[in-house]
Chain A
Amino acid sequence: MAVSAERRHQERRARPRPGPDRRAPRGLLPGGEGQGLPALAGLGLAQALVVLAMLAGWWALALGLHLLGCLALPSLLRQRPPGWPGAVLRLLAMTLPALGPLAMLGALAALAIGLPRRLRDVAPPLPEDPLDARLDAIAAAGPGGGLPDGLLLESLGDVLRWGHARQKARALDLAAEPSRPGGAALLRLALSDPDPAVRARAEALRPGVELRLLEAAAECRAAARGQSGAAAIAAQRALARALDRAAGSGLLDAPRADACRAEAAGLWQALAEASGADAEAEAALGRELLALGDLPAARLALEAAVTRGAAGTAALGWLAECLFRARDFAALEALVARWRPVLEAEAQEGTAGPHAGAWRLWLAR
């Protein structure tokens, strides 16, 4: 019995609550200075009519007008205006039913006197939320504000981890802005966030980003169509990179991502065959084939890229992954033995490459 009561209590607490977010701070000073004023003016007008009716001796009319004014209070309060006028409006809603025009006069006096000096000087403004400040700074820096993608991801990731619902939503909106291509990675993270509200928001934003990635690829495709010679090769390379980015964003659904990869693989293959010694094209081709599951072809392309030596350690990592998936451990050990000095540098403590951990394991054998 006690256990079930406990569980019921926990379930009730975990259930999302209706109404505005209670953890969202209710600002005392900043912002929203003018929001409550129209409502106050309307209530003041109604109460002035009540006073007129009372002075004329029409008590029933005054009571009726007063009750009408009271009926309007809940809808006025639902907007929850912030700041000093909001506080005045909240208290007015508590006192107006009993006090009528006197409460209105009290509200006018409170507006005229303003926030007490001591409260203004000593306690508020309430401590600024650092996450809000960070979001403001990111929004103010603008798209080309020199904010590296890594820093953007880290900042917004912190907001996703520590912020309240409104801040998380704002972080996702910032990440999904068309001018921030790096934000797509944050959306991919948010898709597997423990907070269901964040997941839902990211799902809602995903189609827009997906469409944008595909549109970028389509633009490149259109640009590549009319070119020839060296310009055609450059346009093809740009198209292949755009397709790579779309497929690697993690936001596309699986068939569409595979279609992008297949198209990119064809382009990279054409590029590799055209120039004969294009390490980037071979490495990228190998990676696409690896992702598509064509392990022998991927192995050929990656080995070619690695043999040329110009593709960097990323190609080594992909090749190792390809060999591992193909269960050719002898070839994998030979690869490690052949490239040991390079891999030792890659596997050093403190490097954050995607394969550093795996290299450490294989080098220790």
Chain B
Amino acid sequence: MSAALNPPQGESPMAPGALVAGAWLGPALAALAGLALLRLAGISGEFLGLLIIIGLSLLAGAPAALLAARRGLQGLPLGLAMGGAGLAAFLQLHLVDRLGLAEAVPGGLAAAALVLLWTGLTLAAGFGLPPLAGLAAGLLAGGLLAWGLGGLAGGFGGLALAAAIAGFVATVPAAALPLGLPRRLPRGGTDPVLAGLALALAVLAGPLSTYLLGGPLMAVTLALLVALPGLVFVALARDLAPLPLATRLLGLQAMAVVLGLVIGSAPAAAGLVAADSLPAYRLALLGAGFLPAFAALLAALLAREAPGAATLAAGLLAALSAGLGPLLGWVDPRLSDHGALLAPLLATGFAFWLLAREQDA
């Protein structure tokens, strides 16, 4: 742990496992926290607006977080990512969803604050510092604001406040340490941004394409929850070699998936998943089981000097998640649900091949 606390001068902290796993864990937990805050503010059924905010923040925040992890905290990329995510969320909520300024401005602020949170959590993981104090303070303040203000504005404002406080507290140590000296990277730092963008797209592609094509969104999104224990394992296991870690994860996830299949009809009974999309839910559950193994392999690829292979693997997962379902549906409509199973499987195999090829060489 002390090695993490004392990164060599000029080298930036990097916790690839926490970074990759956090890309899936963070949005899931933020969605849960956001739902809780909305409920506290007396709102139910604004899940889609919340997903838009979180998705935009992830799209802008993952590249910024990866850049910060590789090159240290830098003002301009972080500011641009926050401003971009905030503006995009504000415009989406105000112009497309027809929300008033009082709701759209907190929504935009929430997206910008979540970008700061992703960056801060990545840096905190790199330094080995627990971000719990900031998270607790943020959730407390955000809960108070949501409860006090009420309504959609209160819910979004609470989320924004919680993320801003937690993100700020997690990021300040990186601003205090004399890191961030320019480090020799090929192509002047565009590679981390590309890798981060590919990672964000890999996280978002499945639910996004399902939503755009009118598929069973809840079935695909809810199935991702089965990957959470494995992803937590990846996020915490920093020193394990990637291949044994992936093997162990497959065992762990097999148990989680079996458990998910056994209680498979529970979401349908609770009304979260429509009864006719239950087969798609089961297939997505099986596919999500491979996600932690993919994350472990991706982390190993990302830890290298040049993140090109990681970009390739994450981009492939994004492309498969977005395109395989519609492609199979075009061949045979009965096969379209199998995309959710095949995409993580193929991407995991590809990442394994990339890693094994490099290790042989």
B168-176, B209-217, B265-273 - the one binding chain A: B168-176
A107-115, A144-152, A183-191, A281-289 - the one binding chain B: A107-115
Closest beta carbon of chain A to B59's beta carbon, Å: 15
User: Contact at B173–A115, with CB atoms within 8 Å?
Assistant: yes
In the complex, which of the residues B6, B138, B171, B172 has the most CB atoms of chain A within 10 Å of its own CB atom? Answer: B172
CB of B161 within 8 Å of the partner chain: yes
Closest beta carbon of chain A to B189's beta carbon, Å: 17
- A95 vs B82: C-alpha distance when bound (angstroms): 8
CB of B322 within 8 Å of the partner chain: no
- A123 vs B175: C-alpha distance when bound (angstroms): 15
Q: What per-residue 1/0 map shows which CB atoms of B89-103 lie under 8 Å from chain A?
A: 000000000000110
> Provided the pairs A106-B169, A113-B137 are in contact, do residues A99 and B175 lie with their beta carbons within 8 angstroms?
no
User: Contact at B128–A103, with CB atoms within 8 Å?
Assistant: no
- A84 vs B112: C-alpha distance when bound (angstroms): 24
Residues of chain B with a CB closer than 8 A to A107's CB: 168
- A4 vs B160: C-alpha distance when bound (angstroms): 54
CB of B223 within 8 Å of the partner chain: no
Residues of chain B with a CB closer than 8 A to A118's CB: 5, 128-130
User: Contact at B176–A97, with CB atoms within 8 Å?
Assistant: no
Residues of chain B with a CB closer than 8 A to A54's CB: 105
In the complex, which of the residues A106, A113, A118, A122 has the most CB atoms of chain B within 10 Å of its own CB atom? Answer: A106
User: Contact at A119–B173, with CB atoms within 8 Å?
Assistant: yes
- A105 vs B172: C-alpha distance when bound (angstroms): 13
Residues of chain A with a CB closer than 8 A to B297's CB: none
User: Contact at B178–A106, with CB atoms within 8 Å?
Assistant: no
> Provided the pairs A84-B176, A91-B171 are in contact, do residues A98 and B112 lie with their beta carbons within 8 angstroms?
yes
- A90 vs B78: C-alpha distance when bound (angstroms): 12
Interchain residue pairs with CB less than 8 A apart (27)? A28-B176, A28-B178, A57-B102, A59-B105, A84-B172, A88-B175, A90-B75, A91-B73, A91-B168, A91-B175, A93-B75, A94-B79, A95-B82, A97-B79, A97-B82, A98-B86, A99-B86, A99-B113, A102-B113, A105-B164, A106-B165, A106-B167, A107-B168, A109-B137, A109-B138, A113-B133, A116-B133
Q: Given A106-B164, A118-B128, 16 other A-B contacts at CB below 8 A?
A: A88-B175, A91-B73, A94-B73, A98-B82, A98-B112, A99-B113, A99-B160, A105-B164, A105-B165, A109-B165, A109-B169, A110-B168, A113-B133, A113-B134, A118-B130, A123-B6
User: Contact at A99–B82, with CB atoms within 8 Å?
Assistant: yes
CB of A354 within 8 Å of the partner chain: no
Measured as residues with beta carbon below 8 angstroms from the partner, the interface class of chain A is 35 or more
CB of B299 within 8 Å of the partner chain: no
Measured as residues with beta carbon below 8 angstroms from the partner, the interface class of chain B is 35 or more
CB of A25 within 8 Å of the partner chain: yes
**Chain B residue with the shortest CB-CB distance to A25:** B178
CB of A87 within 8 Å of the partner chain: yes
CB of A69 within 8 Å of the partner chain: no
A-B CB proximity, top 8 nearest:
A106-B168, A87-B176, A98-B82, A102-B164, A94-B75, A91-B175, A98-B112, A87-B175
Q: What per-residue 1/0 map shows which CB atoms of A109-148 lie under 8 Å from chain B?
A: 1100101101100111010000000000000000000000
Closest beta carbon of chain B to A112's beta carbon, Å: 8
Residues of chain B with a CB closer than 8 A to A87's CB: 172-173, 175-176
Residues of chain A with a CB closer than 8 A to B116's CB: 95, 99, 106
Closest beta carbon of chain B to A43's beta carbon, Å: 13
- A90 vs B109: C-alpha distance when bound (angstroms): 20
CB of A166 within 8 Å of the partner chain: no
CB of B359 within 8 Å of the partner chain: no
- A90 vs B74: C-alpha distance when bound (angstroms): 10
User: Contact at B169–A113, with CB atoms within 8 Å?
Assistant: yes
Residues of chain B with a CB closer than 8 A to A97's CB: 79, 82-83
Selected from A88, A94, A103, A115, the residue in CB contact (under 8 A) with B164 is A103
Closest beta carbon of chain B to A26's beta carbon, Å: 5
- A151 vs B105: C-alpha distance when bound (angstroms): 66
Residues of chain A with a CB closer than 8 A to B82's CB: 95, 97-99
Selected from A86, A99, A109, the residue in CB contact (under 8 A) with B112 is A99
User: Contact at B178–A126, with CB atoms within 8 Å?
Assistant: yes
- A95 vs B85: C-alpha distance when bound (angstroms): 13
User: Contact at B168–A109, with CB atoms within 8 Å?
Assistant: yes
Closest beta carbon of chain A to B12's beta carbon, Å: 15
User: Contact at B168–A98, with CB atoms within 8 Å?
Assistant: no
CB of A44 within 8 Å of the partner chain: no
- A99 vs B164: C-alpha distance when bound (angstroms): 8
Residues of chain B with a CB closer than 8 A to A84's CB: 172, 176
CB of A100 within 8 Å of the partner chain: yes
Residues of chain B with a CB closer than 8 A to A115's CB: 173, 176
User: Contact at B177–A91, with CB atoms within 8 Å?
Assistant: no
